[in-house]
Amino acid sequence: MNKFILSRKIKMWKRITSLCVSLLFCTSMVFAQQSITVTGTVTDNSGSLPGVNVTVKGTATGVVTDVNGKYQITVPDSDAVISFSFVGYQTTEALVGARRIIDIVLTEDAQQIEEVVVTAMGIKKDRKALGYAVQDIKAGELMKNKSANILNSLSGKIAGVNITQTSGGAGAGANIILRGGTSLERDNQPLFVVDGIIYDNSTSINGNSGFDGAQSTNSTYSNRVMDINPEDIENMTVLKGPAASALYGSRAAAGVIVITTKKGSEGTVQVNVSSKFISQWVNRLPEQQNQFKRGRYDSSGSLYEGDATTTMGSWGAAFKNTDKIYDNLGSFYKPSNVWDNSMNISGGTQNTTYYFSASNYKQTGVVPESDYEKTTFRFNGEQKLGKLTVGTNVAYSVANQNSSLTSGGLYNSNGEGAIQGALIWPRDLDMKRWLNDDGSKYRLFPSELIQNDFDNPYWVLNKMPRTDKTNRLTGSIRASLEITDWWNVIYTAGIDRYDQFTSRFSAPQSGISLMYQKGLLAENDRKFEYLSSNFMTTFHKQVSAFDFNLLLGTLAESTEINYDGRRAWNFVIPGFYTVTNVDKTDLTIAQSKTQKPKKEW
């Protein structure tokens, strides 16, 4: 009996031991198969890198670094290899092993960055395969000396490019010439192309000296490429010479500037907000004499000074110690303040990317009563559907500019612009006195005819203003079908349209023609519209050491410009200055229409 019980106990013990071993073995297997969490930070020489693709090699597992370059990923075991990849950088791999924190420093792939450039019609080519001069500049370089006008940001950065700012006023435009002028009869500025669509860069001199007295140098004018928000630009490529711009025809003989705007990228949504405040002032002024008062001598040697003379020249008697000398020029200019606010949101998935931005730029000029404000919106999106990729770019902007005569006064007038007037204003006269106590005009020469008055600069700025408002819409739709790895078909349709409304006013009592002494109003409206449709197919096949490329396409485009001008004077109701407040005999209308349909193969 005891032997039987002992035998049963031994068998039960063996079973319990066997069960414990089995459980221990299963537990070991579970522990062996437990996943590993790895964290770390990805940086480059400049700091953290957001949006880096972090994947487990050989699997579909992957994450993207956050705005601080940090990541967290789960790997199956210690033998796993993590791959780190980012556009413009060399791909780096790391074996997990016993590490749980893996920090990576990516190295820029200089060959990848410099190898491909965007050329005409948005075509990407190897730089070494081009037979003409091409230079490009990235967004980071453009933002180092950001300006409301992106042309000013190119100054000193591109060889053979001459950039001249038209003035230092708020909203002033700029001229750009590549490798010197090529023609004596047309504008020598290059053609601008934004995201594959030709972009008008006219510097509109609203009106003309024969119609409303507006001369080409008498005020501050903007060029229309200023409608682009510099923060939206990803890259600018300068194509120099006729060979570089052959696909755009003779209008691009002076070269082409290709602008590519930013796009979203796969990964975490990124939100960027920027706010800047800039203060500017005039710190150097021309030297002025402080020895002689206003006056002149006649042919007999007699001196006329004070109210007895009608000259602005300082050829009068010498200043005495008791005389007051006015610093008219020093007190004329004022500090200029700039508020520059912008934001953008970008992101996407493997098949969808998006980019949205909004900005507001507001500047008060150093010249009184002058300012410039621009508001922009942009949306860029792209969707991949298998071998088909569809993308769109849409931008809308509103620009407002207030200015006045700065030089070379109005046609058929006796005075000068505000800046020229301030430079020659006699120092024994207080330039700030431009109104009488009752609000009427203070006249320097009461004995002269009013149409011969030399207008005070403050009168010019306050009573002879010029306003400019421009609304602009640009957009394109692009579809690309990759039929094979060597055959691609692309269709692009685009529009560039803007409406520009300007007005120039001269108040009663201004030093202009007698017929305009009840006031002169000139309004100019310019509507520009450019439409394009482009179908293109490209073939790129490499056979052994030879590269074969073929481009075929058709381009249809249309340009229409409508101009309407109105000039009115002798207003019936005083103080109500509109073209409907005059008789038909006191109203002049000018109209023009230009159409340029074009189709090329």
The superfamily in CATH containing domain 36-108 is: Carboxypeptidase-like, regulatory domain (2.60.40.1120)
Contact 75, 102 (CB under 8 A): no
- Residues 511, 507: Cα–Cα separation, whole Å: 10
- The predicted structure's pLDDT at residue 38: 93
- 110 to each of 90, 114, 129, 536, how far by Cα in Å? 9, 6, 17, 30
> Which residues in the chain land under pLDDT 70?
1-34, 110-134, 179-187, 204-217, 241-246, 306-309, 407-415, 598-601
Encoded tokens for 194: 């934004």
Q: Residue 418: what residue type?
A: A
Q: 164: which DSSP letter?
A: E
- The predicted structure's pLDDT at residue 178: 76
- The predicted structure's pLDDT at residue 342: 95
Q: Residue 518: what residue type?
A: K
pTM over 0.85: no
Half-sphere exposure at residue 447, Cβ-oriented, CA atoms within 13 angstroms: 6
Encoded tokens for 1: 């009996």
570 Cβ neighbours under 8 A, 6+ residues apart: 515, 518, 582, 583, 586
Contact 94, 41 (CB under 8 A): no
- 211 to each of 216, 395, 502, 523, how far by Cα in Å? 13, 34, 14, 10
Helix (H) or strand (E) holding 99: none
Please, what's the largest Cα pairwise distance for the chain?
A: 160
pLDDT tens digits, one per residue of 153-174: 777 777 777 777 777 778 777 7
